[in-house]
Amino acid sequence: MRALVVRLDSFGDVLLAGPAVRAVAHRADRVAMLCGPQGALAARLLPGVDEVLVWEAPWVGFSPPAVDRTDVGRIVDRVAAGRFDAALVLTSFHQSPLPAALLLRMAGVARIAADSVDAPGSLLDVRHQRPPRAHEAEAALALAEAAGFPRPPGDDGRLRARHAVGAPELTGPGPYVAVHPGASVPARRWSPDRCAQAVRLLAGAGHRVVVTGGPGERELTAYVAGAHGVDLGGRTRPPELAAVLAAAGAVVTGNTGPAHLAAAVGTPVVSLFSPVVPAERWGPYGVPHVLLGDQGAPCAGSRARQCPVPGHPCLDGVTAEDVVAAVGKLLEAGA
């Protein structure tokens, strides 16, 4: 059997699909993932994925491309060439799977499964109802089981990612705490000043600190690291970042992709979680974690990209001392 798993949005979303991908891989002879450009970086880290198809869908993301008939035809042809027997269309609770299902049907995929609150017509063979309040990882597993791909025996259902044992050439020797100050949207970022203060206090408490960030975050990571942390801004592609996070004693980050990558490599997380999306669905999954941030703030559930409340109180009410205490709690529990 040839199977396709579709998850068209971000890096972290694709990581959360990992347990469902392993369930599909246990029954299928070959598994491909269809992802957007950012999600494809995560798909290549997932156990069970044999091939990654990359396509930027016009209904996904912060700045989606315009609909282009030729481009749509190309992806339909590419999926058709895969001759897939079955497909899962994984979406968040607020997204519709039906545009993707239409393309898969046009490509001749024989059996298509998805969670859908809308009547799917002839687009779905398995129309599943998402478990209420389920975490994204659990919802994906539930859909996989409904489609005939139960969790493999002995699989604990946690996130996993392929990664190197460590990256001492980047981090230097000895234990450390990783701090990732960036996030995909401003509403999910702790302030740079608070991040920098946390790095100083962590160093003062005897922790070695490495600060991670993407190529576009070098100025941010340099400021946050200051004279007290190792600045890795722009120096880690996803495989290297996975290795850096795997060797950390704990990771401090917002509700963004690296939080899920830390969970996928088994590292405890101090989560500065903005409630613009619900923590019960998007919090660190399957690892010890401490959730910081006012989950009852006025922005809760708004999916806002820019904080709608002056002063960003949901996150900036969290102090650097709170973070240091949370890191100490996780390290003590691990020891």
Report the candidate in 2, 6, 12, 1 with the shortest Cα–Cα distance to residue 258.
12
Q: What is the mean pLDDT of the chain?
A: 94
The residue type found at 54 is V
Return the pLDDT at 310. Answer: 84
Tokens at residue 191, please?
Answer: 């302030």
pLDDT tens across 172-184, in order? 889 999 999 998 8
Distance separating alpha carbons of residues 250 and 175, to the nearest angstrom:
10
Calculate mean pLDDT across residues 97-116: 97
Do residues 31 and 21 touch, judged by C-beta distance below 8 A?
yes
- pTM, to two decimals: 0.95
Tokens at residue 34, please?
Answer: 């269809």
CA angle 170, 174, 179 (to 5 degrees): 60
CB atoms near residue 28 (< 10 Å): 21
CA angle 335, 190, 297 (to 5 degrees): 100
Tokens at residue 156, please?
Answer: 């604990």
Distance separating alpha carbons of residues 209 and 251, to the nearest angstrom:
10
pLDDT tens across 209-223, in order? 999 999 999 999 999
Calculate mean pLDDT across residues 294-309: 84
Q: Which domains does the chain have, with CATH numbers?
A: 2-146 (3.40.50.2000), 168-334 (3.40.50.2000)
Distance separating alpha carbons of residues 266 and 251, to the nearest angstrom:
11
Return the pLDDT at 318. Answer: 94
The residue type found at 215 is P
Distance separating alpha carbons of residues 276 and 295, to the nearest angstrom:
9
DSSP designation for 203? H
Return the pLDDT at 335. Answer: 67
